[in-house]
Structure 1
Amino acid sequence: MTTDPTGPVEPADQPVRPAQEAARAVFRRALRDTVVLLVALAVLGVGVGALVAGLPGVWGALIGVALALVFSGTTVVAMIRTIDSSPNTMAAVVMGTWLAKVLVVIVVLALIRDMDFYHRGVLAAVLALGVVGSAVLDFRAVNGGRVPYVEPGATGR
């Protein structure tokens, strides 16, 4: 590392990327908030499910939370993992994870469709609350994040 009168200069092979770090912080916040939401929803869903339908209500809540985690968490994790990649790579990974999670949800719902160990209403309510709540938290994290549109000091050459 060299120095100049204005302060230290980073080596050319490891540029400072404040926009990426800010975006990474936004995605970590979204993931953390989603996990907190789903833990609270699991506790509340299991309690309400047990009151509404007994053991099938508990199973419905647990399956709903698990599906909400798969549906909500995969996109944020894909964004965190590909933040240093090109936009094309990031888009491909996010699209691939979206297709995979939709396939997982459809397959799980198809496999348990004719089973009666869970309560369908509790599962649907918990899944809907988890997915919508996670989307709201993602919006809040992105809206409140301070991600610069341009890299400070970038010359554009």
Structure 2
Amino acid sequence: MNAQTVIRKALFWGVVWTSLVTIVASIAGALVAELSGMLGALLGGGIGFAFLAITPLSIVWGLKAGRGNVLEPGFFAVVLGMWLGKFVAFLALVFWLGDLDWAHRETLFLTIVASLLVGLATDVVVVIRSRMPYVDVPLPDSSDPQ
């Protein structure tokens, strides 16, 4: 399994789980705060998905900046820069969107946090199950007799 397969798998399962969180939060938000609760949950799920999609995008850009090597400073600069950008964007969105009248504030915040946690858990599970090699060494070919 290569890095692109892992990224695709993480993005796919992240979309599935974030969608489920958004559906559950929308139903709960509608029950708690009617239309504004549902709209807050839908907006929070969309923001959570956007943050989820930034992670694989940053890895792809980081690999290009690091010329395919994850130990190059360019890779770390892009990935850590995007992480810092997501953190600042999260804080800015929570404070900015918290003042909206048409979206329930608590539902919006809880849905964003739940989406981010589910996205993080999905990324961890996919990477753990990816069976990527830790070292890149040539193995002896079984068809080559010594």
Q: Could you state the TM-score of these two structures normalised by the residue count of structure 1?
A: 0.75
* Preserved CA contact (<8 Å) 1:82 1:90: yes
Alignment length (residue pairs): 134
Is 1:120 the counterpart of 2:100? The answer is no
Name the residue aligned to 2:135.
Answer: 150
Displacement of 1:152 after TM fit? 4.1
Larger Rg: 1
Written as runs of structure 1 = structure 2, the 5 A alignment for 1:1-157 is 22-84=2-64, 85=66, 86=69, 87-153=72-138
In structure 1, list runs of 5 or more residues that go unmatched: 1-20
Give me the identity figure in percent: 28
**Higher mean displacement: 105-114 or 141-150:** 105-114
Q: Quick check: 109-118 or 124-133, which moved more?
A: 109-118
Deviates more, 1:133-142 or 1:22-31: 22-31
Where in structure 2 are there 5+ consecutive unaligned residues? 140-146
TM-score, normalization: structure 2?
0.79
Q: Which amino acid aligns with 1:139?
A: V
- Which amino acid is 2:16 matched to? V
8 Å CA contact 1:65–1:130 kept in 2: the answer is yes
Specify which structure has the higher proportion of helix. Answer: 2
Amino acid at match of 2:17: L
